[in-house]
Amino acid sequence: MRIPYEAPPPLGREFIELTPDVSAAILLTLLVGWQKARRFADVNSQAGEVLMTERLRDGMRDGLKSGGLPWGKMLLVLPGTESRSNTTVIIPDGRTDIPLMLIAVFLRTQEHDPHAIIECKRIAGSDANLCREYVQEGINRFCSGKYGQNHAVGFMVGYLIAGTDEESVDGINAHLTRTSRKAEHLAPADCGEGLVSWVSHHGRAAPTSPIKLHHSFLDLPYGAQSTLPPVSL
């Protein structure tokens, strides 16, 4: 039986590029989901990354189901799951936080693996360890191809346990500068829709084309942030 609108299978694995409007839709879905997630008392500076990510995932799904987002039936928010960096790897070598699937991309490519990946980290610009982890355990997973090897675009979320997004960006960029990666600095992005986000570009060994990362920094409810002492960067 042939499903209506089914596309013929592609030859090989297609490189997935997202148009700016699709990236903006994902970023807006993140913000809508976070507005729902941050209403819970357990979403605070003491919460672990996993709990906040599960709250965010549920909030994104609720936002898509509510009917307020025109792409609600075209974007699927999947559970975090073990993943394989490429088709030659048999044993999973990574675990994605929030994988996404786009119906239009699936119909075109019949690609069953996620079409976009959101990696989530706790962050505070005054905490050098968190800034380092954001790069080493977040950005670098996209650079190495562990995540999104056939993706041209990736996404990262920083849960602001203290301070502002500007302070966190400064801390992340300071770490990139110290490790001779100034060209990879996060910079303000213009994604429309009144979205406040950041963007960075990173080289990869394979594929040879760089990956573009969108960064969203999500603030905690008033009074739920901690006050961290300054840490030398």
What residue ranges do the domains of the chain occupy? 20-219
pLDDT at 149: 87
Give, as one character, the DSSP assignment of residue 151: B
pTM for the predicted model, two decimal places = 0.86
Question: Which stretch of 103-107, 117-121, 202-206, 210-214 has the lowest confidence by average pLDDT?
Answer: 202-206
pLDDT at 92: 45
* pLDDT, tens only, 91-122: 444 578 999 999 999 999 888 889 999 999 99
pLDDT at 190: 83
End-to-end Cα separation, the chain, in angstroms: 60
**Mean pLDDT to the nearest integer, 194-216:** 89
Beta bridge partners of 118: 98, 155
Percent of the chain clearing pLDDT 90 (strictly above): 68
**Mean pLDDT to the nearest integer, 178-206:** 90
Q: Is 115 exposed, middle or buried (0-12, 13-18, 19+ CB in 10 A)?
A: buried
pLDDT at 41: 94
Beta bridge partners of 216: 157
* pLDDT, tens only, 147-188: 888 899 999 999 999 999 999 999 999 999 999 999 999 999
Beta bridge partners of 95: 82
